Structure 1
Amino acid sequence: MSMEKIHILVVEDEAHSRNTYRILLRQAGFENIHLLDRGDAVLPFLEKNSVACILLDLNLPGTNGETLLPRIHEEYPHIPVLILTGVHFVETAVRCMQKGAFDFMTKPVERERLLVGVRKALEVRDLADTTRRFQGGRSEKLKYPELFAPIITRSSAMENLFHYMEAVAPSSLPVLITGETGTGKELIAQVLHRLSGRTGEFVGCNIAGLDEALISDTLFGHERGAFTHAEKKREGLVARAKNGTLFLDEIGEMPSQTQVKLLRFLQEGDYLPVGADKPRRSSARILAATNRHPETMKEGKGFRKDLFYRLAPHSIHLPPLRERPEDIPLLLEHFSRQAAMDMNLPFPKIEKNLVQVLQKHDFPGNIREFQGLVHDAVGKSRGRPLCPDHFNLPETLTVKSKKDDDFNHDHAFLPLDPFPTLADAEASLILEALHREKGNQTRAAELLGISRQTLNRKLRQDKKSPHG
């Protein structure tokens, strides 16, 4: 959208602030600035005028901004609203984001902060038409099908995700990728990076795999002499990913102190290495992934709500393998060939009934678990046709999908007497996972659908328990 066609509405009752915003926006090249000083004048104005974004003060005569916000979001969901307020309370910010605010700024708003927020809002506006076309159905083919080649699928749900990825890839805004363990979240992040056309590199970081004391230093770096043994300067991953993509896996395991620093980076575009006097800037785009359910993260248990909303202007949820049974034949053939090449074996034939047997299982570890099972089966077959006997599948009934309406409780649990407590059941599941994975904590954590860091913490707690 050209600058001449962009109309911005500023709703602010203080005349000095109102004029200041107009001057700053015009200096940045935005010519069509509309000013209102009352909340009850906003909706009548929007009925007659089209705007690209709104700067909305919370404390307004007539109708206050927090009351007005959900009405704007309901009637004009395509218009991003940036909230302005004189006092910063996290609870207020979270409420506004939940009601549909695109951004939340505390007065006095610095020039760069204001312009970064407005430009990001306009970027979302530019993407809105593309996204609406995507959601409303489409007949066009993927523009870059070759970039999706590493993802083995024929699922219509995955094809829908591919179109959405092409729509949001050019954006500089973060993307939150959710899905169970082993669904391929990092692979999706790599494809998003290639689709984006960003000139910098793709830099990945597993938060759960880092010591809590080192996460901030790993991401943001430090100056020489910042602490004992800091003999030379260290550039963090944020700096390394300049003009590229920084992928933060297991974002739900990030310590609260580092969450504050990441929130500042997402809001301001700058960060402060340990021991530095002046903040530095980076144009790295953040992609984050978690196997936690988004609703759990929004509840704020160990994770900041305001950070969650910053990370999720675009979101991608990967369906588990049990919801993609049509992909089992393709994945089986692909992983069988891969395993045969690794072991210098002939590509094995596949017995007819094998696919049907595999499609009946849930694979809680998803594609990662399935790949391991296929590699193991190819090794056992030694070139003979693959059959169910070559697969280390559980003999018990698999857990049905939550979508099954005919869930039978008689099949869900074995008779248990006495009935275990939740703590006992959790401890038993952990022991069973460790047993199945022969003590390998990383694979046991994947089987349980939690991070290794969380598993280690539960094991430590169990040792401290008087019943442990």
Structure 2
Amino acid sequence: MEKILIVDDDEGLVHFLSRFFARQEFDVRSCHSGTAALELVTADSFDLILLDYKMPGRNGLDLLREIRKLQVKTPVIMMTAYGTMDTAIEAMKLGAYDYLLKPFDRNDLDRLVKDALEVNRLMKEVVSFSPAGAGTPPDPRGAVKIIGRHKRMQEVYKLIGQVAAKDVTILITGDSGTGKELVARAIYHHSSRKEKPFLAVNCAAIPETLFESELFGHERGAFTGADRTHIGKFERCHGGTLFLDEISEMPLSTQAKLLRVLQHGEFERVGGSQTIKVDARIIAATNKNLEKEVQQNRFREDLYWRLQIISIHLPRLRDRAEDIPALVDYFVNRFSAEYQTPIRRIEAAALTRLQSHSWPGNVRELENTIRRAVLLSSGDVILEEHLRFDAACQGSPAGATGDDLWDRIERKLDELVPDLLQMCAERMHEGIIDALEKKLLSKVLAQCGYNQVKAAKFLGISRNTLRHRMKKFDLLPPSD
């Protein structure tokens, strides 16, 4: 259970926040003074601290300095009714994760807390690798390992060891699910920046209109809805490591600004004129061939060569099938401990089935398969009947129940809804339902080869309704 500390002299606010987080099953502690907060932080570790800016005696910024000495990696969110730019910038310089203006919106609070807790996990869950072999089960405190004895994985370990301590930009390539983020985190945990922030940015999940603001921040009034100064990922990550996942999805305009940061270590916030100096190590990852993206003018050539200083390529799981038994053992041990189930082993027939599978989703698909098998097993042995393969990786729903598919859809929606709400809140998009419907229709029509009868049946609507929707959204079949 994740632990949250609330420090504020407003007893009513502390009571509200304590109940708010307790309902979400967090372990909540609270206090009303800086002195009491330091006693708690000295005696115990926390996953997140919410800290008031203005309190009697020692103020929030002074307390933040002390907390940073005691718990370097714990995210701290400043809460303030004094939302000046100087307050925000000073808090960020001292290592705050972000700040909230009082009175704050519950959705903003919930989103920011979830983001901060994810950052906490990424920084504190140590990723290691074992050049000598497959490794051992994870440390019960949360460490994870990269597993594999195949010679191509040994080359990966060697590169991690050679470059982790050197302050260079690194590009990690490989298919989806091969473990690119794990490698990035392993580099971070073995680097000289391991006591500084590690922030991960999924470039594919950020709307193009919000990209620069997300990375570089914006000034108050920079655009409609910008009612406060926003500190971007680069400023938050000063002195640390910024992981740019799926960097091929970054817009060309933002790529130009990123190149400037890599070359000169400086940028301006959106709507600002002040040049901000930043020191952040960049680790980028992509599942696409960036050389082809450059040839097709979808990625800047100068940025590509800047990222290519050191490149680490991760093999597909089917190209190192000899590692499957070791990975299976690792995940069985890990999830048995996590879910407190008495799994001792996997039967031979089940292991043979796993070894014969093509694993289009790579290690992530194997991880999900073993997690489900551990949960479905009623005894101490995983049987072949407990194996359920990821439907999205199969090209058909074989092997997955309707409930499995809806669970996957709900998880995807959980990831997308915050971005959609943000777009609505900032009025960056009008008619969000129409936009989603148009995107869904275009995808289904393309999948069905623009066969309207088939598409209408797939969508559960009449052909006339489909025609009406196609006309409304100007969805014409491609010309021959």
TM-score, normalising length: structure 1: 0.54
Of the three residues 220, 224, 227, the one matched with 2:220 is 224
State the distance in 2 between where 1:211 and 1:366 align.
27
Paired position in structure 1 for 2:316:
320
The 3 A distance-change label for structure 1 pair 176 and 392 is same
State the distance in 1 between where 2:443 and 2:273 align.
41
Of the three residues 291, 297, 302, the one matched with 1:295 is 291
* Alpha-carbon offset, residue 245 of structure 1: 0.6
Of the three residues 161, 165, 168, the one matched with 1:166 is 161
Paired position in structure 2 for 1:248:
244
Task: Give the residue type in structure 2 aligned to 1:173.
Answer: V
Superimposed CA distance per residue, residues 14-73 of structure 1 (whole angstroms, 9 cap, x where no aligned partner):
xxxxxxxxxxxxxxxxxxxxxxxxxxxxxxxxxxxxxxxxxxxxxxxxxxxxxxxxxxxx
* Aligned residues of 1:183 and 1:319 also touching (Cα < 8 A): yes
Map 1:373-452; keep pairs closer than 5 Å. Answer: 373-393=369-389, 438=405, 440=408
- Percentage identity across aligned positions? 36
State the distance in 1 between where 2:188 and 2:231 align.
21
Paired position in structure 2 for 1:31:
none
Instruction: Count matched residues.
Output: 288
The 3 A distance-change label for structure 1 pair 288 and 458 is farther
Superimposed CA distance per residue, residues 264-323 of structure 1 (whole angstroms, 9 cap, x where no aligned partner):
211222111112112211110111111112432332442122211111111010011111
| 2:187 pairs with 1:192 | yes
Task: Give the residue type in structure 2 aligned to 1:194.
Answer: H
SS of corresponding position for 1:363: coil
* Alpha-carbon offset, residue 366 of structure 1: 0.8
Task: Give the residue type in structure 2 aligned to 1:153.
Answer: G
The 3 A distance-change label for structure 1 pair 339 and 169 is closer
* Aligned residues of 1:207 and 1:248 also touching (Cα < 8 A): yes
Of the three residues 318, 331, 334, the one matched with 1:338 is 334
State the distance in 2 between where 1:185 and 1:312 align.
15
The 3 A distance-change label for structure 1 pair 181 and 149 is same
Paired position in structure 2 for 1:259:
255
State the distance in 2 between where 1:338 and 1:456 align.
37
| 2:268 pairs with 1:280 | no
State the distance in 2 between where 1:179 and 1:239 align.
29
Superimposed CA distance per residue, residues 347-384 of structure 1 (whole angstroms, 9 cap, x where no aligned partner):
14221233333122111111111111112222232125
Of the three residues 426, 443, 455, the one matched with 1:459 is 443
Task: Give the residue type in structure 1 aligned to 2:363.
Answer: I
Of the three residues 300, 303, 326, the one matched with 1:304 is 300
SS of corresponding position for 2:145: coil
State the distance in 2 between where 1:384 and 1:221 align.
51
| 2:325 pairs with 1:329 | yes
* Alpha-carbon offset, residue 179 of structure 1: 0.7
Superimposed CA distance per residue, residues 176-225 of structure 1 (whole angstroms, 9 cap, x where no aligned partner):
10111111111100111122211421111101111211111010001223
| 2:230 pairs with 1:234 | yes
SS of corresponding position for 1:275: coil
Map 1:97-176; keep pairs closer than 5 Å. Answer: 150-176=145-171
State the distance in 2 between where 1:150 and 1:225 align.
45
| Structure 1 portions without partners, runs of 5+ | 1-139, 400-428, 446-452
* Alpha-carbon offset, residue 465 of structure 1: 4.3
State the distance in 2 between where 1:322 and 1:239 align.
40
SS of corresponding position for 1:373: helix
* Aligned residues of 1:177 and 1:317 also touching (Cα < 8 A): yes
The 3 A distance-change label for structure 1 pair 274 and 434 is farther
State the distance in 2 between where 1:336 and 1:441 align.
25
* Aligned residues of 2:244 and 2:284 also touching (Cα < 8 A): yes
State the distance in 2 between where 1:311 and 1:262 align.
11
CA RMSD for the aligned pairs? 3.7
Paired position in structure 1 for 2:96:
none
State the distance in 2 between where 1:460 and 1:352 align.
40
State the distance in 2 between where 1:457 and 1:263 align.
37
State the distance in 2 between where 1:318 and 1:358 align.
20
State the distance in 1 between where 2:361 and 2:410 align.
12
The 3 A distance-change label for structure 1 pair 171 and 343 is closer
* Aligned residues of 1:178 and 1:294 also touching (Cα < 8 A): no
State the distance in 1 between where 2:441 and 2:213 align.
22
TM-score, normalising length: structure 2: 0.53
The 3 A distance-change label for structure 1 pair 365 and 387 is same
* Aligned residues of 2:246 and 2:286 also touching (Cα < 8 A): yes
SS of corresponding position for 2:146: coil
* Aligned residues of 1:297 and 1:305 also touching (Cα < 8 A): no
The 3 A distance-change label for structure 1 pair 239 and 322 is same
SS of corresponding position for 1:258: helix
* Alpha-carbon offset, residue 461 of structure 1: 7.5
